[in-house]
Structure 1
Amino acid sequence: MKAKIIAFLKRILDWINNNRIKSAIVFLIFVGYYFCLPRTLFEQPYATVIESREGELLGAKIARDGQWRFPAQDSVPQKFKTCLVLFEDRHFYRHPGFNPVAMTKAVRENSAAGRVVRGGSTLTQQVVRLSRHNRSRTYFEKLIEVVLATRLELRHSKDEILGLYAAHAPFGGNVVGLEMASWRYFGVQSHQLSWAESATLAVLPNAPGLIFPGKNQARLREKRNRLLGKLYAQRIIDRTTFELSVAEPLPQKPFDLPQTAPHLLARVAKTREGHRVKTTIDLALQQRLNQLARYYYNQFKQNEVHNLAVLVIDNHNRDIIGYVGNAPTDADHQKDVDIITAPRSTGSILKPLLYAAMLDEGQLLPNTLVADVPTQISGYKPENFNLTFDGAVPAHRALARSLNIPSVLMLQDFGVPKFYETLQKFKLHDISKTPDHYGLSLILGGAESNLWDLCRTYAGLSSTVEYFNAHQARYRTGEFAELNYTDGFKTNFGKPSFDKTILGAGSIYLTYEAMKEVNRPEGDEAWKFYDSALQIAWKTGTSFGNRDAWAIGTNARYVVGVWVGNATGEGRPELTGVSSAAPVLFDAFRLLPRKKGVAAPLNDLEEVEVCAQSGYLAKPDCPTVKQLVPPKGKTTAVCPFHKTVHLDARRRYRVNADCQPVADMVTQSWFVLPPVMEWYYRSQHIEYVPLPPYRADCSGVGGAMDFIYPKAGTKIYLTKDFASKVQPVVLKVAHPNREQLLYWYVDGVYKGTTQTFHDLPIAPVSGFHVVTVVDQDGNEIRRRIEIVRE
């Protein structure tokens, strides 16, 4: 055998050497034949198509040339394939790309009739003709089609050729391809077509003009039924199927394409235009979220709030399983704007990140008392939403109640640049200006972010704790990975490490414990008392002027983010995170499988004794409770509010060595807040016991006092009432002894005396003034202010 092959090759070489010109011609013909078929057969643009993770159509965007042309599928449904081959090319699986017998018959019959009455093209030739934009049917063009058809047969399998035909055949109007035709005329995917529907679409490319509603119905039905008869005659379908098929109606009014996730479609089209993308969207969840968005939109628009967005994340893989980019509003209210990626004022939504960062750095414990008093810092005057003051509040309660003043004071202690750097690690891209630009307002909505980045951040935090608990106290270097909407994509979370990525698991867990205490929407206030309650940590936010309402929540598996407002930035009086965004958030969570909250990462928590009243690390003279804190929590400050005081035997008065023998003194630890904090704290805590006054016969003692209002450097504007009378400014001072007499001076001029309630109205001239207050024991405080009369 080997000798015969060698001899054959030798004869070929001899022929080439003896016929060099002929050999060159044959070689050129072979090369020309090999390269005659374009590498890319169809250059037309395709529609952008997105599908759910179940493979169901979510939406499509028309191709650039105005044609509804879907990208080719991997396979052609068997019913359509059977109908098409039987109708168009019965010998498709046996010919090399052209059928000489059919072509001969077509030429003879067309010549006899003097017009085209029969076509002899195979399906392969029709694919070539479609790729050549249906050029004029000349004999020369037919020859080119035959050559290209044989070359196409060598390059592709028969099923691949059918796939090319199914993707590019005309089906009437601007409908191109089987997939689009299936949706347009029958409202289903091609694999769901019945035999009658498949037969209808199989005959349609032969005469696409027959499909127009109300026209040519009889001709289209006759062509379809004749094909169904062939299917029955060849026993491809049984009699019952045949009878039911011919009884099916023809398509009438075209169906609209699904638009289940239009804003995600627009996002995909920016980077993958003309492709079919299988997304991670859960179809059932997406449909329910759309219903939810429509329900709340109909409510919100009564208050002239026209936009909302909902994003649902699977924490395990960062897959987006629900994406509602906007409410079903109208063009006048920016219905096409994708709010999920739009920068909006953050309101209070960043407060948990500051709280967690301070826990992680050991600058705070969950119950540490934080000041909540009138505050002015370099001209910046934060206020709580309800315009009240608690004096002092545990840090976790300040977070749960979203108190602004404690948050600003916490940020001041932590440092704006340091917190800014933390936010940069979370890749909150819209927070891009310098720390000085934001200042302390950074924690109250002075910066902008978007729902995408915020949900990604909270998903990373939740996953940090879950992975830590499941993998022997390890973290992952890429834990805060980007969100994903492409099905099958494997997110890279980096390598396991014993070093925390950004925040420790213990700090995140304690932050979530505080976030569970956020006051829930109406109807869910008693969630702690029933087992079926949603176990989620969540936070709301409301931007200045009621322009943005936020709510973001998480459990062990999911993160849900909600934004409500107007895309134009118009604020509305009743628009808040609690009243507007929170109900949407909880209803969205009810659509998800019930999951537990994040479990405690005990390997990143340590038990310490803290002061029961102040929340600081306990001193020996503090009443204590045990509490779990992050590792660095053991380095926080000890309680500064417990002081050792000396009392008389009846514990009614404080005494000192000038008025009481040391042996007769009673020594006691006393919880004492600074004067201004105490002044407000007492009104909220009836259990607070102020320090007893010094006994009258004790000398050399005084009490600490402080201004409640105004703060240092305050500029005060005096306004006029309706009678054009200048209204005074009311100065306030806190003194530990309410019965002390206080003497007030402005620029050294005596203005009055107060007792019990230390408030004094004054109306000085415009300019700078020094206010001096002296108590009856000689203690003195001063404050410089600026008065401006309008």
Structure 2
Amino acid sequence: MNATGPSGANPPGVSRLPRRLALAAGALVLALALLAGAGILGLAQIRAHAPPAPEPKVSAEVVDREGRLLRPFALPDGRWRLAARVEDVDPRLLAMILGYEDRRFAQHGGVDPLALLRAAAQAAGTLRVVSGGSTLTMQVARLTLPPRARTLGAKMAQMRRAIELEARLSKAEILGLYLTLAPYGGNIEGVRAAALTWFGKEPRRLTLGEAALLVALPQSPEARRPDRAPARAKAARDRVLDRLLAQGVLAADEVRIAKQEAVPTVRRPMPQLAPHLAEEMAAERPDLARHLSALDAPLQERLEDLVRERTRALGRGLSAAIVVMDNESAEVRAYVAAPDYFDRERAGAVDLARAVRSPGSTLKPFIYALAFEDGIAHPETLIEDRPARFGAWRPENFDRSFQGTLSVRKALQLSLNVPAVRLLEAVGPQRLASRLQQAGGRLELPAGAAPALPMGLGGVGVRLVDLTALYAALARGGEARAPVFRREGGAVAAPRRARLVDEVAAWYVGQCLLGTPAPQNALGGRIAFKTGTSYGYRDSWAVGFDGRRTVGVWVGRPDGQPVAELTGRAAAAPLLFDAFARIVRTPAALGPAPRGALAAANPRLPPPQRHFGRARRDAVLEVVYPPDGARVSAADAQALALKVDGGTFPLTLLMDGRPVARVEDRGTLFWTPEGRGFARLTVIDSEGLSDSVTVRVE
């Protein structure tokens, strides 16, 4: 007889196996199967043949000298995935992740049998999946494996991969992979990208509520995205807080306060400091994931804010750029190439710090430096500022007036044109161009054109970054160094060095520029600076230095259109002084006078240096031997003869700007070379006439 009635029901006293018990048994069987599978795979064999640890591709990032993020770059597919290490994250966030995700992380070897059994028991007791039993290592394994459906085979693959990861990596490295790869919704991966997106800061110092939200999001990143589902995000965050409170990881008072924190509802943009330089550095070394620059992020941010403020006040279409260099190391500490990278009206994407523009009068200090080096002028030498012709060219001063007789120092401070052209004619335009180019100043001349006198007033193209480096050479005693943008391995890359002018000449120029009249409402006498305005009011410049740093400023329109009354003094100089104010409260003093510098009033100068260019109209002075460019022998340290035609006695011979011989009544001077190499020989007569030759001593 059948044990059941006609309808198939159980007889009285006999009940069907409860559905819950069947589910529990099934879950237990699954757990045991997984454990058995892991054992069958052979842990030792898996560990011994583990493949190399995964190296997931991460977003390239450019950081400042202290490792602070300037600008990251999205991966080619648009994802933001910033590399993260344990030390990059708030320790409390790490404790919360481990407390919530994997409390036995430090003890297990990738797979936690107890967690699997617990998951099975929870499923049996609640008739739903409460936890999957996955360890943090298994989650990392899943994130590094190709996506698969949630099947028993996929789970086994994750377990195997987890064991392999534990064989190759330390616990800190595994945790770092999780912090880098965990999904946070949309195109955001990793805790650093998430913290920047939702809170606008790195995950080093988070509030308790912020940390709890970052723990909750990876569980269901799309459903809990704060910008799309803030209520779900808040509920998930609060559940994390409650669980950690129950575990004793958090205290009740701090959980209560954390729950009161608002959940962010909008995404924040990624950092965009120094975007132009960051873009260039990333393109220069695409193999690097992390580019260590020489910039100072807080200073960069302050100066970017300053440029934005000032260009708004200047008017539509106007732009500006600032470069800050450290004098000693040649490191570029700030690089503001435009007011706003995304401002199309001001061509924000154009790097104006590297744009070729007319420098106006900003090359004049280098003309004076060469004149000082040659010994044909001293800061107290008198010079004429009167109408003069140079061939068919008749230069005028900016205000179309003339000052008459004044000191060379004053002529430079007032940026007078005629005195500068007189000195440039004496030192030679080609020589000036050669010195500037050898020192890293890339000059742009029209095709087929040679350096000529107009270059001293802006008739040539230069870049702000190069001009700033040339002024930094004056600040460090005439030694030019290539700008340093990148710090490799935490150390400053050795810059290329070249001699721009000698130390005494550089110091003379600095002392002259220290007295340049300051702009309105600014305190003068603390910064050695020079302004410049290009022809047609297209470019305004101001470059200055103190004892520690050099700052270059350019203001104008990116398209090169003229702007009425846009002058270096009115537009660029105030920005220069404001920049110094945001760099340091009190500028550092310039260095002391170097050996050989002559501090004397005009009457006490050597007669040839008292008045530049004063001579009879028919007077002639010429070095007839050796000819310019000659090679001479220094054998036996024998004195060599230099023959001069014309001039008014006495005659003074200078070698590389230093007096070495003097004669009262004859046209032959003798000098002894100090060693092999090039030497510039200059003869000056009592009326100020001079002639120079360059010879190579062999």
Regarding TM over 0.5, the answer is: yes
Deviation at 1:238, TM superposition (A): 2.2
- Deviations, residues 704-763 of structure 1 (Å, cap 9, x unaligned): xxxxxxxxxxxxxxxxxxxxxxxxxxxxxxxxxxxxxxxxxxxxxxxxxxxxxxxxxxxx
Q: Is the 8 A contact 1:68 1:176 kept in 2?
A: yes
Partner of 1:290: 304
Equivalent residue for 1:317? 329
Please point out which of 591, 596, 603 is paired with 2:595: 603
| 1:381–1:111 distance in 2 versus 1, CA, 3 Å | farther
In structure 1, what is the Cα distance between the partners aligned to 2:602 and 2:211?
75
CA distance in 2, matches of 1:446, 1:536: 26
What secondary structure is seen at the aligned counterpart in 1 of 2:139? helix
Flag the 1:63–1:552 CA change in 2: closer, same or farther, 3 A: same
Distance 1:607 1:333, change over 3 A: closer
C-alpha RMSD of the superposition = 3.6
Contact 2:226-2:263 within 8 A present in 1 as well: no
Classify 1:638/1:275 alpha carbon distance in 2 versus 1 (closer, same or farther; 3 Å).
same
| Inter-CA distance 170–107: structure 2 relative to 1 (3 Å threshold) | same
Which residue among 63, 84, 88 is the counterpart of 2:75?
63
* From 391, 411, 419, the counterpart of 2:424: 411
1:187 aligns with 2:197: no
For residues 176-217 of structure 1, the C-alpha deviation after alignment (integer angstroms, 9 at most, x for no partner) is: 110111121122321211222212211211100233346544
Residue 781 of structure 1: aligned partner:
none
Q: Does the CA contact (< 8 Å) of 2:324 and 2:551 recur in 1?
A: yes
Equivalent pairs: percent with the same residue? 32
Q: 1:405 to 1:30 in 2, by over 3 A?
A: farther
Structure 2 unaligned spans of 5+: 1-41, 612-647, 649-654, 661-681, 690-698
What residue is the counterpart of 2:532 in the other structure? Answer: 541
* CA deviation profile, 1:361-407 (whole Å, cap 9, x unmatched): 22322233444444444444433222233455433222222222222
1 CA distance for matches of 2:446 and 2:402?
Answer: 32
Aligned to 2:145: 132
The one-letter code matched in structure 2 to 1:77 is D
Contact 1:261 1:323 in 2 (8 A): yes
**Amino acid aligned to 1:259:** Q
| Rounded Cα–Cα distance in structure 1 between residues aligned with 2:85 and 2:285 | 16
* Matched residue, 2:160: 147
Contact 1:281 1:322 in 2 (8 A): yes
Q: For residues 40 and 428 of structure 1, do their structure 2 counterparts lie closer, same or farther at Cα, with a shift above 3 Å needed?
A: farther
Give the TM-score normalised by the residue count of structure 2: 0.75
Segments of 5+ residues of structure 1 without an aligned counterpart are 1-27, 466-477, 528-532, 623-628, 643-790
| CA displacement at 1:335 relative to structure 2 | 1.0
Task: Determine the structure 2 residue equivalent to 1:264.
Answer: 277
SS at match of 2:307: helix
Take 2:511 and 2:108, find their aligned partners in 1: how far apart are those partners?
72
Q: Are the counterparts in 1 of residues 429 and 452 from structure 2 also a CA contact under 8 Å? A: yes
Residue 594 of structure 1: which of 568, 580, 586 is its match? 586
- Aligned position for 1:79: 92
Following superposition, the deviation at residue 119 of structure 1 comes to: 1.9
What SS does the corresponding residue of 1:164 show, helix, strand or coil? helix
Deviations along 1:660-697, one digit per CA (max 9) or x if unpaired, are xxxxxxxxxxxxxxxxxxxxxxxxxxxxxxxxxxxxxx
CA distance 1:84–1:574, change in 2 (3 Å): same
In structure 1, C-alpha distance between the alignment counterparts of 2:577 and 2:245, rounded to whole Å: 56
Q: Check 1:614–1:391 CA distance in 2 against 1; reply closer, same or farther (3 A cut).
A: farther
Instruction: From the superposition, tell whether residues 220 and 415 of structure 1 become closer, same or farther in structure 2 (CA, over 3 Å).
Output: closer
Q: Distance in 2 between matches of 1:641 and 1:604?
A: 21
Change (3 A) 1:31 1:398: farther
- 1:55–1:278: 8 Å Cα contact kept in structure 2? yes
Deviations 1:497-542 (A, max 9, x none): xxx9332221111111221232321234xx5xxxxx5511110111
Contact persistence 2:437–2:443 (CA under 8 A)? no
Change over 3 Å in CA distance of 1:502–1:265 after alignment to 2: closer
Aligned twin of 1:637: 684
After TM superposition, give the deviation of residue 46 of structure 1 in Å: 1.0
Instruction: After TM superposition, give the deviation of residue 419 of structure 1 in Å.
Output: 1.3
- Aligned counterpart for 1:489 among listed residues 488, 491, 501: 491
Q: Secondary structure at the match of 1:437?
A: coil
Identify which of 548, 554, 560 aligns with 1:557: 548
- Tell me which residue corresponds to 2:458: 445
TM score, norm. by length of structure 1: 0.67
Q: Which SS does the other structure have where 2:244 is aligned?
A: helix
- Once the two structures are TM-superposed, the CA of residue 279 in structure 1 deviates from its matched residue by 4.2
Q: Can you list the C-alpha shifts for 1:472-491, whole angstroms capped at 9, x where unaligned?
A: xxxxxx75243335483324
SS across alignment from 1:339: coil
> Matches of 1:394 and 1:160 in 2, distance apart?
69
Seen in structure 2, the aligned counterparts of structure 1 residues 605 and 87 have a Cα distance that, compared at 3 Å, is same
Provide the C-alpha distance between the structure 1 equivalents of 2:285 and 2:160, rounded to a whole number of angstroms. Answer: 35
* Residue pair 1:305, 1:566 contacting (<8 A) in 2 also: yes
**Could you tell me which amino acid in structure 2 is paired with residue 632 of structure 1?**
R
Work out the CA distance in 1 between the residues paired with 2:607 and 2:247.
86
**Structure 1 residues 613 and 78: alpha-carbon distance in aligned structure 2, compared to 1, 3 A threshold:** closer
SS at 1:345 equivalent:
coil
Candidates 485, 500, 503, aligned match of 1:502: 500
The yes-or-no answer on 1:570 pairing with 2:571 is no
CA distances 1:520-577 after superposition (whole Å, capped 9, x unpaired): 21234xx5xxxxx551111011111111101001111121110000111111121111
Q: Partner residue of 2:628? A: none
Kept in 2: contact 1:548–1:564 (CA 8 A): yes
Residue in 1 that maps onto 2:469:
456
User: Structure 1 residue 37 and structure 2 residue 51: aligned?
Assistant: yes
**Cα distance in structure 1, aligned partners of 2:346 and 2:193:** 31
Q: Which amino acid aligns with 2:530?
A: K
> Match of 2:481, SS?
coil
Aligned residue among 166, 170, 176 for 1:157: 170
- The residue type paired with residue 78 of structure 1 is P
Partner of residue 89, structure 1: 102
Q: Residue 562 of structure 1 aligns to a residue in which SS?
A: strand
Q: 1:583 aligns with which of 546, 549, 574?
A: 574
Query: In structure 1, the residue corresponding to 2:474 is in which secondary structure?
Result: helix
CA gap of 1:267–1:520, structure 2 versus 1, over 3 A, is same
Distance in 1 of aligned mates of 2:576 and 2:448: 31
Question: Any conservation in 2 of the 1:546–1:571 contact (CA below 8 Å)?
Answer: yes
Q: Distance in 2 between matches of 1:379 and 1:516?
A: 35
Q: 1:345 and 1:494 mapped to 2: Cα distance?
A: 25
| 8 Å Cα contact 1:340/1:450 also seen in 2 | yes
1:121 is displaced (CA, Å) by: 2.2
- Offset at residue 281 of structure 1 (A): 3.6
Question: Which residue identity does 2:575 align to in structure 1?
Answer: V
Count of residues in Structure 1 that have an aligned counterpart in Structure 2: 582
Deviation at residue 86 of structure 1 after TM alignment: 1.8
Distance (Å, rounded) in 2 between the aligned partners of 1:215 and 1:608: 76
